[in-house]
A and B are shown apart, each in its own frame.
Chain A
Amino acid sequence: MVIFSRRRLGVALVATAALLGTAACGGADAADDGTVTLTVDVFGQFGYDELYKEYMASHPGVKIVERGTGSNLDEYSPKLTQWLAAGKGAGDVVAIEEGLLVEYKANPQNFVNLLDHGAADLKGNFLEWKWNQGLTADGKQLIGLGTDVGGIAICYRKDLFAKAGLPTERDEVSRLWPTWQDFIKVGEQFTAKNTGASFLDGATNTFNTILLQTAGNTTGYSYYDTSDNLVVDSNPAVRQAYDTTMDIIDSGLSGKYGSWSEEWVSAFKQSKFATIACPSWMTGVIEGNAGEGAKGKWDIAQVPGSGGNWGGSFLAVPKQTKHRAEAIELAKFLTSAKGQIGAFKAKGALPSSPQALDDPAIADSTDAYFSGAPVGKIFSAGAKSLKPVYMGPKNQAVRTEVENAVRTVELGQRSPGQGWTDAVTNAKKAAAK
């Protein structure tokens, strides 16, 4: 009896100890066999596959794994932030979108200062404003090296334009809309023909395009001024973009498809809209959503107004990486002129390197999916003369509120006046959070 009890005690102790043991040993590192595995975290399509192969061939000790390919920025950014906050989990090289970069720049301690690792010599490889975006406010730390920029155009469906009796040839189409007001007029003509498709996909992406263009051409900032004061209600560029968007909604041009939603994706496939505001990276999105069936039906014209940049990313090296030197070298390679040309060829990411932009590989490139449009020429034309738009600390949260207000007007839930009041109130609230 006693022995039995004692054994019972022993079993209980062992079980408890075993449990503690399991709880205590968490993430053990895989044994190192001499090769270094570098993880690259991306969202969407960066087009690096061929570049990885080339890099691995010239660096036999390095293996590269990419994570997050094709994922949505909305899914990617909270994950990356959690990894950074936890001090564990992030890749050795991580992609950061420009809208999020401002948040990360406010907490630069999470990233390796690339200036300490010979990046200063690379300054000439990037458009000046792109280089400066990667620097912290005091200019002492370089967080990320630029990958692409988002020169803006309008992508349109030739078949739907023909159906509505509009010209289909890209230069003629570009001449239809020197300004956004002309664009609206063309849209009204298109809508009057009842093709079964709407003129535009939706209002929010269009709004953001107009805002970034207007801000770039006037104030140089959007929701925040360069001293980081929230100016959503006093910056004329924001109000002007809002009013133009309201005109677009009023004229019934919008298909009301929420950007990046399932409906939006279906609308591409079912040819439910004729035009979409088209930053250079959007061409890859269109091709992915509309599919092979729509090849040759799309074309690219100039954007109304002039110029503008939306989006573009950076590659950074988190401080938590165990392979700092190797990661920095890989980031430098991927953001070099050569790397950027490779990415452009693969997925249409417009380079931020002036050398790459001048390279015939880009300047003379055409895109078969978009009826052989000279994408290199169209998108890079504005890229070099572009005036960047400054983004403040809570840019992403504020932008979300304002775009959402636009969306409520588009869906008829709010009047334009109420929508503006909501935008300002909610933006202030978001900025204060």
Chain B
Amino acid sequence: MAVHLDARPPAVPAPRRSHPDRGHRLARLDTRFSPYLYIAPFFLLFAVFGLYPLGYTLWVSLHDWDLLGASPTFVGAQNYRQLMSDPDFWNSVVNTLGIFALSTVPQMLLALWLANLLNRQLRGRTGWRMAVLVPNVTSTAAVAIVFGVLFSREFGMINWLLDLVGIDPVNWKANRLASWVAISAMVDWRWTGYNALIFLAAMQAIPRDLYESASIDGAGRARQFWSITVPLLKPTIVFAVIISTIGGLQLFTEPRLFHSGTNAIRGGPLRESQTMTMYMFENAFAPHYNFGYGSAVAWLLFALIAIVAAVNVLVLRRLGGGRREETR
């Protein structure tokens, strides 16, 4: 096919002269369909790697499907009904949302603060700006393993430090809040710098004269930050929140590798930090190999992300409207 098309152009001029309107028709076809062809690669890839797995997962989720079994049986919505009354599933939903909230809020505040610092006149500014991105380029698996050791019950550095100031050791892996904090710390360590750079880029787009007139009016640095920087940064903040929503709700590597040993997929003896993706894995693969049930978890995760995304869009609209009024 490719060879045929490449070979055509030299032969084209002659027919064009004898059939002018044929070339015209081709041109019209071109303007009409070329754009679709240009974007086709994305949609083809999306169909193969996005849409097809999505549909197939839905199909699987309607079956009693043993991963190894020869013939899955159609069971309709039974997997979903069972999930609705599965306390372990709801536990994983709460964990996911809890870790998400616990990691995102401090992360955004810290990133704002960092960006504000980096926005000042600093010696070696580019160096600092690059430095905050370094945690982001390290491998998640390595980060998770290192944090898993830092937060170890007996040999961990965090408990050693707590001991120095007279606090009893915490069992980070078998305590719900503690494990959420540890995992959030891991997420924040990795992503705060990334978000700080995004905020920094947006901050640099804020006109200097706003700050100048504010300081003439007697506003201090803090006042300038909260009354000028933060309001003008709102759309960027929403963007950053959406990005971390998508990542946060699919959190897997960090909590999975935070736990080690047998049944690490449970996220602690009482499933203290088992996220939805971990619960999905536990059901679809070891030890249950119940592919149908795992697929149902995947679809409910999809639904949850859609809901949270919708909330984000609503918030974005309101903020967007507010901003327009401000600039008017």
Contacts and interface: CB of A to CB of B under 8 A. Distances in A.
Contact of B68 (A15, A23, A107): A107
Main secondary structure of the interface of A (DSSP, over half): helix
A181 interface: no
Interface string A331-364: 0000000000000000000000000000000000
B261 A260 contact: yes
A6 B149 contact: no
Interface string A62-92: 0000000000001001100110110000000
Contacts of A2: 16, 23-24, 26-27
Contacts of A78: 285-286
B261 A259 contact: yes
Given A13-B37, A411-B171, A259 B262 contact: yes
22 contacts: A5-B26, A5-B31, A9-B34, A10-B6, A12-B38, A17-B1, A74-B264, A81-B67, A81-B289, A82-B67, A82-B285, A103-B289, A261-B260, A261-B261, A262-B261, A263-B260, A400-B263, A404-B269, A413-B269, A413-B270, A430-B287, A433-B290
Contacts of A433: 283, 288, 290, 293
A290 to B, nearest CB: 15
A183 B287 CA distance: 33
B282 to A, nearest CB: 9
A28 interface: no
Q: Pick from B16, B33, B68, B286 the residue with the most CB of A within 10 Å.
A: B286
Contacts of B155: 263, 266, 270
Interface string A103-134: 11011011000000000000000000000000
Contacts of B31: 5
Interface in B27-43: 27, 29-31, 33-34, 37-38, 40-41
Interface in B216-252: none
Contacts of B290: 433
Nearest to A407: B269
Interface string B285-318: 1111111010000000000000000000000000
Contacts of A30: none
A19 B149 CA distance: 44
B124 interface: no
B70 interface: yes
Nearest to B47: A23
A74 B266 CA distance: 12
B66 A6 contact: no
Interface in A365-415: 396-397, 400, 403-404, 407-408, 411, 413
Interface in B68-116: 68-70
Given A9-B30, A263-B261, A433-B283, 9 more contacts: A16-B41, A74-B262, A81-B68, A109-B70, A110-B68, A262-B145, A262-B260, A272-B154, A433-B288
Contacts of B285: 78, 81-82
Contacts of B45: 19, 23
A14 B7 CA distance: 12
A17 B3 CA distance: 11
A414 B211 CA distance: 58
A94 B269 CA distance: 31
A352 to B, nearest CB: 24
Nearest to A18: B2
Contact of A107 (B66, B152, B266): B66
A269 to B, nearest CB: 9
B148 interface: yes
Contact of B286 (A20, A23, A74, A403): A74
A263 B261 CA distance: 9
A6 B269 contact: no
Contacts of B152: 262-263, 266
A8 interface: yes
A262 B5 CA distance: 60
A141 to B, nearest CB: 14
A193 interface: no
B21 to A, nearest CB: 11
A204 interface: yes
A43 interface: no
B174 A260 contact: no
A150 B311 CA distance: 56
A199 interface: no
B82 to A, nearest CB: 9
Contacts of B157: none
B149 A262 contact: yes
Contact of B30 (A8, A109, A404): A8
Contacts of A204: 262
A415 to B, nearest CB: 14
Interface string B1-29: 11001101100110010000001101101
Nearest to B20: A2
Contacts of A9: 26, 29-30, 33-34, 37
B129 interface: no
Interface in A220-274: 256-264, 266-267, 270, 272
Contact of A262 (B33, B67, B69, B148): B148
A3 interface: yes
A396 B27 contact: no
A323 interface: no
Contacts of B44: 16, 19-20, 23
A13 B5 contact: yes
B34 A403 contact: no
B23 A85 contact: no
B150 to A, nearest CB: 11
